[in-house]
Structure 1
């Protein structure tokens, strides 16, 4: 398993790296709260280009982040969604709901 992390790229863009699965998602879920609370009114973008592997728990994480942001009137988007994660979203009927940039 690879190390999973959220690393700032610039003020409102964060690189997600590693695996998104049942073991890693709980830790990542908690890390988004301070990021969105700091963002003020600006959109936060999560870049998933360095995600090496994902399962349905990874998709659940993105949906949970979307709900968390909406509850706080924050905007967020996802960039470079891996094909594996996009396929899971498509099969689940959630692809059109993801804020992709």
Structure 2
């Protein structure tokens, strides 16, 4: 099993920063933790500047978080999206959702 890890921090008011790996190994935990934090604290920005590795499961997690916010009547802005994740979104045809 991989030693992949991620963390969530709220160092800037209104922003939830995700760092580490956003991959198949961490996606379920990242989604659950980020949803809970967004619901609890009401952040409006998801900062991906600390994401070091992402795959299709990470992209799915990001899309699920955006949908989660939307179903609660909130707008969640995504910032500092890593180039690899942007490229994956482009080839998947979902870049406009980010």
Structures share fold, TM-score greater than 0.5: yes
Q: Distance in 2 between matches of 1:33 and 1:81?
A: 18
CA contact (8 A) 1:36 1:74 kept: no
**Match of 1:11, SS?**
coil
Number of the residue aligned with 1:66:
66
CA contact (8 A) 1:46 1:79 kept: yes
| TM-fit CA distance, 1:2 | 4.5
**Match of 2:62, SS?**
helix
**Where does structure 2 lack aligned partners over 5 or more consecutive residues?**
none
**Match of 1:88, SS?**
helix
**Match of 2:28, SS?**
helix
| TM-fit CA distance, 1:55 | 0.5
Matched, 1:80 2:80: yes
CA contact (8 A) 2:4 2:25 kept: no
**Where does structure 1 lack aligned partners over 5 or more consecutive residues?**
none
Number of the residue aligned with 1:95:
95
What TM-score do you get using the length of structure 1 for normalisation? 0.86
Superposed, which structure 2 residues align to 1:1-101 within 5 Å? Answer: 1-37=3-39, 38-39=41-42, 44-98=44-98
CA contact (8 A) 1:45 1:76 kept: yes
Between the two proteins, the alignment pairs up a number of residues equal to 95
What TM-score do you get using the length of structure 2 for normalisation? 0.88
**Match of 1:6, SS?**
strand
